[in-house]
Amino acid sequence: MRILVVAATAAEIAPFAARLRYGANRTQRVVSYNGAGHDVDILVSGVGMVAAASWTSRELSRQRYDLALNLGVCGSFSRTLTPGTAVHVVSDCLPELGAEDGDAFLSVQQMKLLGSDEFPFKRGRLVNAEPPGNRALDRLRTVHGITVNTVHGNDRSIARVVEGFKPEVESMEGAGFMYACLIQGIPFAQVRAVSNIVERRNRSAWKLDLAIGELGLAAWRLLES
């Protein structure tokens, strides 16, 4: 099986990449490896949904893959999702895409600029309706996410986004990756590990190393399965 792994930064997937056998530097951003009987290309897209969508689309157009995986860390809106927990994000959306109307926010769907079920959206979300069959993936907790340009760190904005979109996790790349995969029609999964609770910015409470370590273990189990 040929697998594309997309990550925003090399640091997030360093433990996973260290378990693979190096093959070649295909491009400036894509490095080929082998592991668990699979050909694995790692694409480091850079931070943000625009970079993730653009580089993922470019690579999926240039090379045929059997599966695409987005690996990274995330913040959790739920205190039951403690730092280090690996999750499978089965739906994602863009809560900043819309317009302000005084103190209210109007989504692009509410503004009638995009249909709620207009491809690739379903009820205003990007949904992985047919995730790949994988026992390790099946064991991960499934969650709903949001993808943002500005990570939340304000009590008022956190309350507003939780009320409006009911997310369990947030990232800066997930929806961009999912959008590209849905457009290309390739099986995919977005797998993340929680690095912090979404709250007023408090880096001292983050468990980034723990999250990256657990992400590496989860990713390797996916490969072996």
CA distance 156 to 200: 10
Q: How many residues does the chain have?
A: 225
pLDDT at residue number 135: 96
pTM of the model as a whole: 0.95
pLDDT at residue number 222: 96
pLDDT at residue number 41: 98
- Preceding omega of 120 cis (within 30 degrees of 0): yes
Q: Which of 79-88, 164-173, 202-211, 215-224 has the lowest mean pLDDT?
A: 202-211
**Measured distance between the N- and C-terminal CA atoms of the chain, rounded to whole angstroms:** 12
Residue 150: how many other CB atoms lie within 10 Å: 9
pLDDT at residue number 181: 98
- Residue 202, pLDDT > 90, answer no
- Residue 165, pLDDT > 90, answer yes
User: What is the per-residue burial (b if ≥16 Cβ within 10 Å, else e) of 43-55?
Assistant: bbbeebbebbbeb
Mean pLDDT taken over the chain: 95
- Residue 63, pLDDT > 90, answer yes
pLDDT at residue number 102: 87
Confidence of residue 177 (pLDDT cuts 50, 70, 90): very high
- Residue 50, pLDDT > 90, answer yes
Which CATH number does the domain 2-224 belong to among 3.40.50.720, 2.60.40.10, 3.40.50.1580, 3.20.20.70?
A: 3.40.50.1580
Q: Quote the percentage of the chain above a pLDDT of 70.
A: 100
Q: Which residue is listed with tokens 């904005």? A: 157
The full set of domain ranges for the chain reads 2-224
